[in-house]
Amino acid sequence: MENKLDITKNKFSVIDSVELVTSYLENYQNNKIFKYLDDIHNADIAELLQNLDPVLRLSLLNIIRDRFDPEILTYLNDSLRDEIVETLDIKQLASNAKQLDIDDAVDLVEDLEKEDQNTFLENLEEEERNLIEQGLNYPEDSAGRLMQRKFVSIDQWWNVGQAIDYLRGNKKKLPEDFYDIYLIDKDRKVEGVVPLGRLMGSKRNVKLSSLKNKELRAIEINTDQEEVAYQFSKYGLVSAPVIDEQKKILGSITVDDVVDVIEEEREEDILKLGGVGHTDIYNSVVDTTKSRISWLIVNLMTAVVASIVIGLFEAAIEKVVALAILMPIVASMGANAGTQTLTVAVRALAVKELTTSNALKIITKETLIGGINGIIFAVIISLVSIYWFQDFMLGVIIGLAMVLNLILAGFAGTIIPLALEKMKIDPALASAVILTTITDVFGFLSFLGLATLFLI
Amino acid sequence: MENKLDITKNKFSVIDSVELVTSYLENYQNNKIFKYLDDIHNADIAELLQNLDPVLRLSLLNIIRDRFDPEILTYLNDSLRDEIVETLDIKQLASNAKQLDIDDAVDLVEDLEKEDQNTFLENLEEEERNLIEQGLNYPEDSAGRLMQRKFVSIDQWWNVGQAIDYLRGNKKKLPEDFYDIYLIDKDRKVEGVVPLGRLMGSKRNVKLSSLKNKELRAIEINTDQEEVAYQFSKYGLVSAPVIDEQKKILGSITVDDVVDVIEEEREEDILKLGGVGHTDIYNSVVDTTKSRISWLIVNLMTAVVASIVIGLFEAAIEKVVALAILMPIVASMGANAGTQTLTVAVRALAVKELTTSNALKIITKETLIGGINGIIFAVIISLVSIYWFQDFMLGVIIGLAMVLNLILAGFAGTIIPLALEKMKIDPALASAVILTTITDVFGFLSFLGLATLFLI
């Protein structure tokens, strides 16, 4: 058997793929399309669909709809997935879903609209339907949703030979891929995990219990997926048994699903810090506009608040127009320094490096750093301002405002995410807007306020 | 054998751990410390060290230095790792390093100072030293640095029985954990990958070549780790062979190392977007201040540029002080809308959703969204301004400036990261500062410029 695709010589390139399929479509070479799609991974088909011209995408979908593998949907972005599901026949999709892992099926079904969900489930075989419905009963983003229902559990008192014979005799019941076997007692309670590699290297008469990992790292069914990812990443797990409150085994989570979770969670953090919700570049113009508008409204309100603060000092600005020219610098530096601190703090919270046990130390440190940077930039901006406007006092005032605002930025940049975390609000989501409001308002207030006191 | 640690009942809690070890240290109960550290995972010991009071950390290190497992260092943050290595005896560390995987050892040695590196290497056994030195010869962040040197490669013409007998007979040569076996030809060229689970479920006389994965996903030795992570995540790989240009096998990369890379790369993106370089909360005040200062300098320069633009309109502001009050709103909304677009674009570039094939479409879409949001917020801010300052023309002008700046924000938010990517500059690093400079400068320019033309 030859390798169909050898990535070392013939790595999948989405640009080549789009070009090739476009030419097949334009020349009505359907057989070539089928052959080509057969040769590439479903993840590559998903990438191809995402990059095809929308009209060609529709033609391609019409050609392959009868044999469309639902697994492709699990690799697609949410918005394109919705769009593609709408063009497919749900009944047909369900009958093509026999090969689908239960965790992937749950992932697929949970995002379908209610009506489509019912059609899909009705057209599955009973066993599969029951498993999927069970999966849907677990809380969203929990270990229960993430887990595989096929796994290998073996009596803890067996030896290596018995285990191998059992696996050979039950080939059909085995999951497509597995890396560990779970040892259970007579009540199906998990007692240990044996990595396959260790099993393979041992003689037939060796007891399984002597091969098990020193520590048993089982996941409770209701654990949040973020915590699951944290455990996998921290301890370098490849799979872990999922258990109920009585320690009875219910399923298995494998690392490939966890990798998806890690990417998802990190992306969410990046998007939230950037003031965008759950979104991707395939969303429609209307959906995207809607999703962005709420943060822009918040930002408009905070900007108006800052303007109101400036408005308080109308008289001062009228007398010394240099104040209007210089004031954005203080605000901008505060926002920038604060965002630096904030980013580090949000990340440290996410990876559990920032905890209540070291919070005070970190707050002190960041405030101190704010002060040091404040002094450095105060000197620079003072000199610039004195030279620019030939006004010594103006330079002193902007320098003072700079120090104060950068100290506040360091303090607020740490305390805001900590406070939000305490209040069970996602720090990645709201920290930035609160911070820049504070540094803007205080930047204008301190600079214009000091100017009113000492300059006018 | 009882499980030493059952996470379902007795999950590792860093707060409890710190408390426990602190009390042991204060009561000089060294034996209890040894016993406790023996029971927990090296990753937990690392977490404990990170959260201990610095003075107690030093006491703990002095107690355990003779038997300090170098693997603990691989779980520590860079800055704390450096600090701890300084307090340890490098010779002792090297003699404790026998159990360390070669990839972890390479990871550890590459960060040591030159002198310590030599001491460490000199005190290793020859075979280990050679492997580590080979690893260090591969480029930083490449597959060569990441790979394990122990892996299981088997003649492609063998059957299941031969493979199992080989594994049992060579137990000592096997890696601690492995999930796939690699089929090779007589020149050690990789011909296929067989997952262990599939091997286990097959009878002894089955040919290995009939069990191999449809696709062979091998990694070339010089591949960047980010690309390695992308392949693992896209195709759900658990391990992959690493090969040279002749396809000959050199090593193996396993998913646990890739998970670390994914976390590292995502974190880097978050930190870069926030204007902070490679840093963590354990860095000293001086190091942190230094690392932040460069972006603050850039920001100061861009803020001064924006102020110079404002300065051009000094006369206008003197006449209509409302301009000074309102102008930050236009700039702030532009920066905010632009950052939203930018965040989505940088993320889409990282996960290869934004490519040259759809760049034009996305730029058009984002500019359009900018226009729509621009119109919406123009209407709001116009009404607010007219009511606030009782000046119809001022409202029209700020509205116009808002539309123009938000269109530019949408356009620049997509084109900047794309252009940087084309120029081989990391878009996460420099996009934000370029964007906000553009939206600030253009925000002030358009608002004050239009006011000068039509209001004064």
Structure-token match 């900590």, residue found: A418
Cα–Cα distance for residue pair B111/B109, rounded to 1 Å: 5
Q: A197 and A233 in one domain? A: yes
CATH code for position B172: 3.10.580.10
Write out pLDDT tens, residues A271-297.
887 877 666 677 788 888 888 888 899
Instruction: Give yes or no: residues A437 and A312 share one domain.
Output: yes
Rounded to the nearest integer, the mean pLDDT of chain A is 89
What is the model's pLDDT at position B427?
A: 86
Structure tokens at B3: 């499980």
Could you tell me how far CA B206 lies from the centroid of its own chain? 43
> How much is the average pLDDT of B379-390?
96
Residue-range definition of the domain harbouring residue A338: 285-454
Q: Are residues B309 and B449 in the same domain?
A: yes
What residues contact residue A197 under an 8 Å CB cut-off, 6+ apart? B152, B174, B175, B176, B177, B178, B179, B196
In a domain, A217, yes or no: yes
Q: Are residues B235 and B127 in the same domain?
A: no
Q: Is A345 on the interface with B (CB under 8 A)?
A: yes
Tell me how many domains chain B contains. Answer: 3
Mutate to test the interface with A, among B53, B191, B332, B434 (most CBs of A within 10 A): B332
Does residue B354 contact residue B415 with C-beta atoms inside 8 Å?
no
> Residues B182, B154: contact at Cβ < 8 Å?
yes
Cβ under 8 Å to B: A residues 74-113: 75, 77
Does A275 reside within a domain? no
pLDDT in tens, B334-372: 999 999 999 889 888 877 788 887 899 899 999 999 999
Per-residue pLDDT at A61 exceeds 90: yes
Cβ of A262 and B258 within 8 Å?
A: no
Domain-located, residue B204:
yes
Query: Which pair of structure tokens corresponds to residue B156?
Result: 């492609």
Is A419 found in the same domain as A344? yes
For residue range A193-221, what is the model confidence (pLDDT) as tens digits?
Answer: 999 999 988 999 999 999 999 889 999 99
A206 in B contact zone (CB under 8 Å): no
Q: Cα A112 to chain center, whole Å? A: 21
C-alpha span between B306 and A57 (Å, rounded)? 46
Alpha carbon of residue B417 to chain centroid: 18
Q: Whole-angstrom Cα distance, residue A124 to residue A324?
A: 68
CATH number at residue A38: 1.25.60.10
Does the pLDDT value for residue A351 go beyond 80?
no
Do both A329 and A210 map to the same domain? no
| Interface contact B196, partner A, CB < 8 A | yes
| CB < 8 Å to A340, chain B | 274-276, 292, 295-296
DSSP of B367-410: HHHHHHHHHHHHHHHHHHHHHHH--HHHHHHHHHHHHHHHHHHH
**Which residue has better confidence, A107 or B147?**
B147
Worst-scoring range by mean pLDDT, A177-186, B92-101, B228-237? B92-101
B19 part of a folded domain: yes
pLDDT number for residue B1: 35
Residues A101 and A194 in one domain: no
Nearest CB among B175, B285, B373 relative to A296 is that of B373
Q: Same structural domain for residues B232 and B169?
A: yes
**Least trusted range by pLDDT, from A8-17, A359-368, B361-370:** A8-17
Q: Tell me the nearest-neighbour CA distance from B115 into chain A, angstroms.
A: 30
Nearest-CB residue to B18 (from A269, A323, A357): A357
* Confidence at residue B326, expressed as pLDDT on a 0 to 100 scale: 96
Per-residue pLDDT tens digits for A94-113? 888 877 888 888 888 888 88
A136 touches chain B (CB under 8 A): no
Find, among B295, B292, B444, B321, the residue nearest to B389 by Cα.
B321
Three-class SS of residue B239? strand
ipTM associated with this complex: 0.79
Which pLDDT score, from 0 to 100, does residue A278 have? Answer: 64
Provide CB contacts within 8 A for A274, sequence distance 6+: B273, B339, B340, B342, B343, B344
Q: Is A203 helix (H, G, I), strand (E, B) or coil?
A: coil
- Whether residue B279 is contained in a domain is answered as no
Instruction: Tell me how far apart the alpha carbons of residues A288 and B51 are, in angstroms, rounded to a whole number.
Output: 42
Q: Which residues fall within 8 angstroms of residue B262, CB to CB, at 6 or more apart?
A: A259, A262, A263, A266, B229, B233
Q: What whole-number percentage of chain A has pLDDT above 70?
A: 97
Q: Is the pLDDT of residue B307 over 50?
A: yes
| Choice among A94-98, A296-300, A373-377, B374-378 with the minimum mean pLDDT | A94-98
Does residue B71 carry a pLDDT above 80? yes
Mean pLDDT, residues A441-452 taken together: 96
A chain contacts of residue B48, beta-carbon cutoff 8 Å: none
* pLDDT at site A415: 96
**Residue of chain A minimizing CA distance to B352:** A47
A127 lies in the same domain as A159? no
pLDDT for residue B275: 77
How big is the A-B interface in CB pairs under 8 Å? 387
Q: What is the pLDDT of residue B100?
A: 84
A390 touches chain B (CB under 8 A): no
Task: Please indicate whether, in this complex, the C-beta atoms of A373 and B289 are within 8 angstroms of each other.
Answer: yes
pLDDT at B3 > cutoff 70: no
Q: Are B97 and B32 part of one and the same domain?
A: yes
Residues 6+ apart with CB under 8 A from B399: B378, B379, B381, B382
